[in-house]
Amino acid sequence: MRKVYRYLEQINSPEDLKKLKENEVRLLAHDIRKFLVQSVSKTGGHLASNLGVVELTLALHTIYDTLKDKIIWDVGHQAYVHKILTGRREQFKTLRQYKGLSGFPKRHESSHDHFDTGHSSTSISAALGLASARDLKKEKHEVVAVIGDGALTGGMAFEALNHGGQSKKNITVVLNDNEMSISQNVGGLSNYLSKIRTAPIYAKVKDDLELLLGNIPAIGKSVKKTAEKAKDSIKYFFVPGILFEELGFTYIGPIDGHDYNALCTAIKNSKNIKGPKLIHVITKKGKGYKLAEKSPAEFHGVSPFKIETGKPISLTKNLSFSEVAGNTLIEAAKTNPRIVTITAAMPSGTGLADFAEQFPERFFDVGIAEQHAVTFAAGMAAEGYKPFFAVYSTFLQRAFDQVIHDVCIQNLPVTFLIDRAGLVGNDGETHHGVFDISFLSCIPNLTILAAKDGNELQAMIQFAEKHEGPVAIRYPRGTTALDKEKSILPIQLGKGEVICDWGKDALILTVGNMNEIGVALCQQLNNKGIGATVINPRFIKPIDQHLILQHAKSHKRIYVLEDNAKIGGFGEQIRSFLNEYEVYKPVKLFALPDAFIEQGNVALLYKDCKLNQEEIFTEIYQDFTKGIIGKLAITR
């Protein structure tokens, strides 16, 4: 049988790579790209970033022994090639699926993975930690952080560079510069890198200078000092990477990231340099797949697609919650000049891309810098603006202190549009948005809402526009019905709504999009003779005390459904609230367990967590029938 991937099929471990000749490595790179496109087109995943790092990963694996040497992949979305080379190619059929191969490095998955990632800008800090431990243990191995130009815009990366340069630890930072974050990269550092890229001649000037100084043989001490000084001043004008040099890193580059030989040479040479060094590598995101090269942002993270057209296999007509948020803000901004929007490097994901086009001066992409984004928003709010910071729930975790210290203590009218709340699916434990209710509910002054659908999200954004203090609105990943004909009454502070009122047995409180399950349960229970009322509380904080108290008193049992961790979630707040008011009714919480939830299809994950309609129905039904069944058993 003809081999589909002639060279790739010879690679079962990085050792096999080392046996290949130079031209065979080039053919292997071609095979890998073909495999990536074929495989990710079926499973979905992060495509463009991986296509860009094929030669770089091959070179890293040629020079380092990753069972011993430790490579940390920043974000980790670009580690597919590393996984392919380290014996995981066969598992790509299961990429990002339930119980399948993770889309990020995982220590439990392979001894070639040395640090778990998923959130951006952690790699240099982790590398420094690993290197410091190595030195204390007197071990000998290399520690390497591979970080993208986007990830380098994150505060943690700067903090680590600051520490790393001074620590003089032997670490290598490989800066993979493709001029892209998910979208076009932004910021001063990005401009600086672009200057280096466009002036490669500088590299030669630096080499020549050093050669010249090295070659002056019997140079007197003072002459040498003066020459060194001159070199230093000239360096400011000519030497690329002076910023990194001044921070204490030896700068190597820029290197063509698709030239395997040049990469191997640079990495090999860097091993002979003591202390922290940074290898600046220039790559093309999406390399080798024309459509991805042309639109790298579209192919950053993809669902299954047709290779010929690049179009997703399943198309939906519905808008995503993110799009509803973005469109609502566009409408609001037309009449309210105080509205500004902010993203931390996620203009498309958060639905702000169109806003950015229509109001470029009132849109701010601050880079992967969630902490900065929050305080930046606070600054604008202090000057009378109405900032909306759209951010994934999981990434807002980064900015907990800024939400408290810079926004809420000053009661500033910043709105957090918390996208991707609840389980997100294939990205797994690093990306599920299941802690926001817990970590935000304890913050004074913050009003928190959860939207059940697109119409409600619209109304909530309109509420936030008028509200005087800080607001957080959470909504899930995915699409939503948006009924243009339906207009809901303006949302009132702290007021929930009764969705269906079919009896006084079960009171079901549903957070956000759990409402859909609540309504279905109401019907299902009714069919079995159990009368239920469903309340959409709308506000996680302040809770609608009157509505909830009144219904809790009149119902036999209370149930809370939420796609947040049980600990610190809405259900626990309801329990303690009812307790305070001496309503001693059974309150059962259907929420996420005290565990990190793995990756997989969202429906499957909710089922696993017993947070799907079937499981919840069975439990509620049993609550109401176990007494009866018990009695029947006794009578018999």
Ligand X SMILES: CC(=O)[C@@H](O)[C@H](O)COP(=O)(O)O
Ligand Y SMILES: Cc1ncc(C[n+]2csc(CCOP(=O)(O)OP(=O)(O)O)c2C)c(N)n1
Active-site annotation, residues: 285, 370, 398
Query: By CB under 6 A, is residue 398 in contact with ligand X?
Result: no
In terms of CB distance, is 247 or 391 closer to ligand X? 391
What one-letter code names the amino acid at 480?
A: T
Tell me the closest approach of the beta carbon of residue 112 to ligand Y, in angstroms: 20
Q: 178: annotated binding-site residue? A: yes
Cβ atoms of 430 and 116 closer than 8 Å: yes
Please state whether the peptide bond connecting residue 254 to the residue before it is cis, i.e. omega within 30 degrees of 0. Answer: yes
Query: By CB under 6 A, is residue 119 in contact with ligand Y?
Result: yes
Map 71-100 to HEC letters: EEECCCCCCHHHHHHHHHHHHHHHCCCCCC
Cβ atoms of 82 and 334 closer than 8 Å: no
In terms of CB distance, is 241 or 454 closer to ligand X? 454
In terms of CB distance, is 172 or 599 closer to ligand X? 599
Cβ atoms of 341 and 370 closer than 8 Å: no
State the number of CA atoms in the 13 A half-sphere of 563 facing the CB. 31
Cβ atoms of 400 and 425 closer than 8 Å: no
The pattern of x and - marking residues 464 through 483 that bind ligand X according to CB under 6 A reads -------------x------
Residue spans of alpha helices (H) in 80-154: 80-83, 123-136
The pattern of x and - marking residues 392 through 431 that bind ligand Y according to CB under 6 A reads ---x--x---------------------------------
In terms of CB distance, is 81 or 450 closer to Mg ion? 81
Tell me the closest approach of the beta carbon of residue 120 to ligand X, in angstroms: 7
Tell me the closest approach of the beta carbon of residue 443 to ligand X, in angstroms: 25
Query: By CB under 6 A, is residue 49 in contact with ligand Y?
Result: yes
The pattern of x and - marking residues 597 through 636 that bind ligand Y according to CB under 6 A reads ----------------------------------------
Please identify, among the stretches 252-260, 342-350, 380-388, 572-580, the one whose residues bind ligand Y according to the rule CB under 6 A.
342-350
As given in the structure block, the two tokens for residue 222 are 């003072």
Distances (CA, A) of 400 to 416, 428, 439, 451, 601: 12, 21, 8, 22, 29
Ranges within 148-167 binding ligand Y (CB under 6 A): 148-151
Tell me the closest approach of the beta carbon of residue 181 to Mg ion, in angstroms: 6
Q: Which of 267, 238, 271 is nearest to 255 (CA)?
A: 267
Query: By CB under 6 A, is residue 56 in contact with ligand Y?
Result: no
What one-letter code names the amino acid at 299?
A: F
427 binds, among ligand Y, ligand X, Mg ion, none (CB under 5 to 8 A by kind): ligand X
Among 113, 116, 323, 427, contact with ligand X (rule: CB under 6 A): 427
Q: Do the strands 532-536 and 497-501 form a parallel or antiparallel pair, or are they unpaired?
A: antiparallel
Among 101, 127, 180, 352, contact with ligand Y (rule: CB under 6 A): 180
Tell me the closest approach of the beta carbon of residue 151 to ligand Y, in angstroms: 3
Among 33, 61, 70, 77, contact with ligand Y (rule: CB under 6 A): 77
As given in the structure block, the two tokens for residue 215 are 């070659």
With 0-12 / 13-18 / 19 or more C-beta atoms within 10 angstroms meaning exposed / middle / buried, residue 201 is exposed
What one-letter code names the amino acid at 466?
A: K
Query: By CB under 6 A, is residue 347 in contact with ligand X?
Result: no
For residue 13, the SS3 value is: coil
Query: By CB under 6 A, is residue 75 in contact with ligand X?
Result: yes
Please identify, among the stretches 60-68, 162-170, 250-258, 339-347, the one whose residues bind ligand Y according to the rule CB under 6 A.
339-347
| Rounded Cα–Cα distance for residues 175 and 280 (Å) | 5
Contact footprint for Mg ion (CB under 5 A): 148-150, 178, 180
In terms of CB distance, is 78 or 426 closer to ligand Y? 78
Q: 64: annotated binding-site residue? A: no
Tell me the closest approach of the beta carbon of residue 79 to ligand X, in angstroms: 11
Query: By CB under 6 A, is residue 362 in contact with ligand X?
Result: no
Q: 164: annotated binding-site residue? A: no
Query: By CB under 6 A, is residue 349 in contact with ligand X?
Result: yes
Q: Which of 243, 240, 212 is nearest to 227 (CA)?
A: 212
Query: By CB under 6 A, is residue 420 in contact with ligand X?
Result: yes
Cβ atoms of 192 and 241 closer than 8 Å: no
78 binds, among Mg ion, ligand Y, ligand X, none (CB under 5 to 8 A by kind): ligand Y
Please identify, among the stretches 50-58, 420-428, 574-582, 588-596, the one whose residues bind ligand X according to the rule CB under 6 A.
420-428
Tell me the closest approach of the beta carbon of residue 104 to ligand X, in angstroms: 8
Cβ atoms of 559 and 510 closer than 8 Å: no
DSSP class of residue 539 equals: E
Map 239-301 to HEC letters: CCCHHHHHHCCEEEEEEECCCHHHHHHHHHHHHCCCCCEEEEEECCCCCCCHHHHHCCCCCCC
Tell me the closest approach of the beta carbon of residue 286 to ligand Y, in angstroms: 10
Map 312-372 to HEC letters: ECCCCCCEEHHHHHHHHHHHHHHHCCCEEEEECCCCCCCCCHHHHHHCHHHEEECCCCHHH
Locus of tokens 């910071």: 389
What one-letter code names the amino acid at 591?
A: A
Binding residues for thiamine diphosphate: 77, 118-120, 150-151, 178, 289, 370
Which residues contribute to the site for ligand X (CB under 6 A)?
75, 77, 182, 300-301, 349, 420, 424, 427, 477
Binding residues for Mg(2+): 149, 178
Which residues contribute to the site for ligand Y (CB under 6 A)?
49, 75, 77-78, 119-120, 148-151, 176, 178, 180-182, 285, 344-346, 368, 370, 395, 398
Binding residues: 77, 118-120, 149-151, 178, 289, 370
